[in-house]
């Protein structure tokens, strides 16, 4: 079998920095974890919060700490650092080869969708954001690591897409049609869902949007692990000046 993880994300309209932070880490006993945090508010302040939370979780997972314990520790850390005045939504999605399961840890009211061969389940049990008190526990779901599974998690910017215009993105129906008609790779699913969310906000996202898709397929292409990252950016004035007028050290190298 082969595990494929894909992500797609965009900033809130007219905000240069996303308040969502996403990181991927290999598990020390085999497998991979994806950590997604959405800091309170948006922009630079939210980014500082979500980055702090994700760094804490990633460090603990890399040391072999269980997902639920890592989420509780991150909540306690945020509570201590910000005196309980700042919150963050946190998701941890892990394919654990040691246990042969997929573990989904949610400190996020936004649901997670799990698609199997013949149905789609919505994981929407009560779940609180982290940071408001000590020992906030995540909602934990664990399912067998089997081929044919597709899991979609996302931040509230996607969930609330279209609200300003009296619409709501039906991810369950869209995911069902994608899988049934085409069975596309994980990246196509993530891109399609994000593009729909952006269109429902009429091309101006009302909040930061992030989507993560984990898919398990039966066949293996080979034994090589791969990861591709695409990060669009605009060149700053300083970068343009650097290209136009290289420093003395760069001139000497040329």
Mean pLDDT to the nearest integer, 240-245: 62
Q: Over 80: is that where the pLDDT of 18 sits?
A: yes
Number of structural domains in the chain: 1
Instruction: Of 61-75, 162-176, 217-231, give the lowest mean pLDDT range.
Output: 217-231
Nearest CA to 27 among 115, 105, 93? 93
Highest mean predicted confidence (pLDDT) among 112-121, 192-201, 215-224, 229-238: 192-201
Q: Higher model confidence: residue 49 or residue 246? A: 49
Average pLDDT estimate for 114-138: 93
Give the mean pLDDT of 61-77.
97
At residue 237, the pLDDT reads 63
Q: What mean pLDDT do residues 66-85 have?
A: 96
Nearest to 54 by CA among 26, 31, 75, 79: 75
User: What percent of the chain clears pLDDT 70, i.e. is strictly above it?
Assistant: 92
Question: What's the pTM?
Answer: 0.90
Cβ neighbours of residue 99 under 8 Å, at least 6 residues apart? 142
Q: pLDDT for 165-214, tens place per residue?
A: 999 899 999 999 888 877 899 999 999 999 999 999 999 999 999 999 99
Q: What is the extent of the structural domain holding 73? A: 2-253
| Mean pLDDT value across residues 211-236 | 85
Q: Is the pLDDT of residue 99 over 80?
A: yes
Q: Which pLDDT band, with edges at 50, 70 and 90, does 242 fall under? A: low
Each as own residue / partner, the long-range contacts of residues 191-194 (CB below 8 Å, 24 or more positions apart, any chain) are 191/8, 193/8, 193/152, 193/154, 193/158, 193/169, 194/8, 194/9, 194/10, 194/158
Enter the DSSP assignment of 223.
S
Helix ranges (H only) for 43-170 are 43-62, 67-82, 156-159
Rounded Cα–Cα distance for residues 10 and 12 (Å): 7
pLDDT surpassing 90 at residue 222: no
Report pLDDT for 194: 97
Looking at residue 2, what is its pLDDT?
A: 92
Which residues, in sequence order, are CB contacts of 233 under 8 Å at separation 6+? none
Nearest-CA neighbor of 155 among 167, 134, 171, 177? Answer: 171
Higher pLDDT, 46 or 239: 46
Enumerate residues 6+ apart whose C-beta is below 8 A from 237. Answer: none
Mean pLDDT within 149-159: 96
Give the domain CATH number at 68: 3.60.40.10
* pLDDT averaged over every residue in the chain: 91
**What does DSSP assign to residue 164?**
G
């Amino acid at each position: 079998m082969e595990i494929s993880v894909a992500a797609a994300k965009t900033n809130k309209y007219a905000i240069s920095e996303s308040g969502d932070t996403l990181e991927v880490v290999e598990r020390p006993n085999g497998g991979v974890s994806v950590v997604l945090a959405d800091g309170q508010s948006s922009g630079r302040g939210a980014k500082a919060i979500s980055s702090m939370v994700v760094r804490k979780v990633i460090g603990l997972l890399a040391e072999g700490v269980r997902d639920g314990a890592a989420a509780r520790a991150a909540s306690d850390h945020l509570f201590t650092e910000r005196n309980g005045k700042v919150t963050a939504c946190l998701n941890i999605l892990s394919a654990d080869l040691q246990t042969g399961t997929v573990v989904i840890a949610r400190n996020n009211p936004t649901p997670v969708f799990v698609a199997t061969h013949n149905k789609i389940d919505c994981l929407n049990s009560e779940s609180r954001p982290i940071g408001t008190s000590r020992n906030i526990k995540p909602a934990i779901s664990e399912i067998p690591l089997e081929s044919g599974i597709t899991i979609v998690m996302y931040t509230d910017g996607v969930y609330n897409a279209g609200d300003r215009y009296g619409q709501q993105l039906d991810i369950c129906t869209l995911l069902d049609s994608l899988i049934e008609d085409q069975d596309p790779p994980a990246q196509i699913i993530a891109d399609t869902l994000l593009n729909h969310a952006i269109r429902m906000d009429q091309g101006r996202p009302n909040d930061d949007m992030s989507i993560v898709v984990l898919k398990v397929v039966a066949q293996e292409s080979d034994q090589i692990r791969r990861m591709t990252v695409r990060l669009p950016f605009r060149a700053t004035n300083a970068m343009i000046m650097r290209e136009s007028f290289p420093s003395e050290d760069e001139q000497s190298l040329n």
